Amino acid sequence: MLLGVLCILVVPRVFSEAPPAPPQDIQVDNWLLRWSPDPDDGDVTYTAQYSSFDSCVWTDVPYCVHISLNSCNVSSIKARSEYGCVMLRVQAERHGQNSPSVQACSKHGHLCTPDFSLTASPGSLTVHLSRNTTFLREHADHAKYRVYYGKKGEALQDYKDGPASVTIDELQEGQRYCTRVQYLYFKQTEGLPTCTQCELIPESDSRRTVTIVSLVLVGVLLLVFPVIAYFFLFQRERFKRWLQPRYTFREHLFEPIPEPFLPIHSSTEEHYDVITSMSPVELRE
């Protein structure tokens, strides 16, 4: 009986062990590959893989297989990258279960990775890209840039292609947008993408004024409303007393009006209608 309960509790745990979380923030900087491990995951090892130019085959990077560190020197593939761009990815492994692979990004521009800077203005973001780089010169008219963009925290799914600097319009002001750039050869992305850079889209002056005015109004309402509500709910009686007119009876109002000011009606000047018939009150109602 007890054994049965234990089996029910333990067996599914062993068989349904989830694969480890994939590594995060995988960056290459001067042939040193680094990533952030999941701090809650013990017993996890990492493997880095590379894929050469025009090949979909992923090969393990020598000395970077099943390591428990969170960085690896990948300079052993430097020679291979001289014949074309290489891509890099890392996956986590625990007890034979693999996490999905995550692609690395390049922290600095490289032969196969663009270098870019961002300028934000109200409603738009400009990605500054050079027209004169080794990659573009070597691939002549067939090479371009692909700029991925999206709101911070969302997947960068939208993109815009261009031979040089690209401006992305119609962005929401006051929001933070992120971009990532990769070279494009014919219709295929090439080499490592840049690491993501984010920028706050500033608000235009008129919009800022509207925002400030609305905030002030909301603030005033928030301050005034509880005061009114307090008086209405708890001080209603006192409020009524305050609102009652205070009569001050002055002596002279009750003095008799002197004779000469009394209106004098002369019956000759006034016209009266002659009542011809009268009906009882109940009938008129």
Nearer to ligand NAG, 75 or 196 (CB): 75
Alpha helix segments (H runs only) across 110-235: 134-139, 205-234
Nearer to ligand NAG, 50 or 159 (CB): 50
Q: How far is the CB of 131 from ligand NAG (least distance, A)?
A: 8
Q: How far is the CB of 171 from ligand NAG (least distance, A)?
A: 30
Nearer to ligand NAG, 31 or 58 (CB): 31
Distance of alpha carbon 177 from alpha carbon 277, whole angstroms: 89
Q: How far is the CB of 89 from ligand NAG (least distance, A)?
A: 19
- The verdict on 163 binding ligand NAG (CB under 6 A) reads no
DSSP H or E segment with residue 70: none
What spatial distance separates the first Cα and last Cα of the chain, rounded to whole Å? 92
Distance of alpha carbon 169 from alpha carbon 29, whole angstroms: 31
Q: How far is the CB of 53 from ligand NAG (least distance, A)?
A: 22
Within positions 116 to 135, which residues make up the interface with ligand NAG, using CB under 6 A? 132
Token code pair at residue 210: 């509207």
Q: How far is the CB of 185 from ligand NAG (least distance, A)?
A: 19
Nearer to ligand NAG, 62 or 219 (CB): 62
Q: How many CB atoms lie within 10 A of CB 208?
A: 14
Nearer to ligand NAG, 116 or 177 (CB): 116
Which residue is listed with tokens 């042939």? 31
x-or-dash string of contact with ligand NAG, 45-84, rule CB under 6 A: ----------------------------x-x---------
- The verdict on 268 binding ligand NAG (CB under 6 A) reads no
Q: How far is CA 210 from each of CA 88, 170, 206, 217, 221, rounded to the nearest angstrom?
A: 47, 19, 6, 11, 16
Q: How far is the CB of 133 from ligand NAG (least distance, A)?
A: 8
Nearer to ligand NAG, 68 or 73 (CB): 73
Spatial contact of 45 and 121, defined as CB atoms under 8 Å apart: no
Within positions 181 to 240, which residues make up the interface with ligand NAG, using CB under 6 A? none
Which residues pair with residue 120 across a beta bridge? 125
Q: How far is the CB of 68 from ligand NAG (least distance, A)?
A: 18
Distance of alpha carbon 150 from alpha carbon 136, whole angstroms: 25
85, HSE (Cβ side, Cα atoms, 13 Å): 25
Total site size for ligand NAG, rule CB under 6 A:
4
Nearer to ligand NAG, 73 or 172 (CB): 73
Distance of alpha carbon 112 from alpha carbon 97, whole angstroms: 32
Nearest alpha-carbon partner for 145 in 107, 189, 111: 189
- The verdict on 32 binding ligand NAG (CB under 6 A) reads yes
Contacts with ligand NAG by CB under 6 A lie at: 32, 73, 75, 132
